[in-house]
Amino acid sequence: TPVPPELRFALELDAERRARAQPPRGSFLGRGPAERDPRTAASLELPRQREQRCESRAFRLHDDIRDKLRPVTVTLSYGIGGARGARGGRGTALPPLIPAL
| Cβ count near 5 (within 10 Å) | 16
Count CA within 13 A, CB hemisphere, residue 42: 10
What pLDDT sits at residue 33? 62
What pLDDT sits at residue 86? 40
Q: All domains of the chain, ordered by start, with CATH?
A: 6-44+51-79 (2.60.40.1460)
What pLDDT sits at residue 8? 92
Q: CB under 8 Å to 27, separation ≥6 — which residues?
A: 13, 35, 36, 37, 38, 59, 60, 62
Parts of the chain with a pLDDT under 70:
1, 31-35, 82-101
Residues 80, 86, 88, 93, CA torsion sign: negative
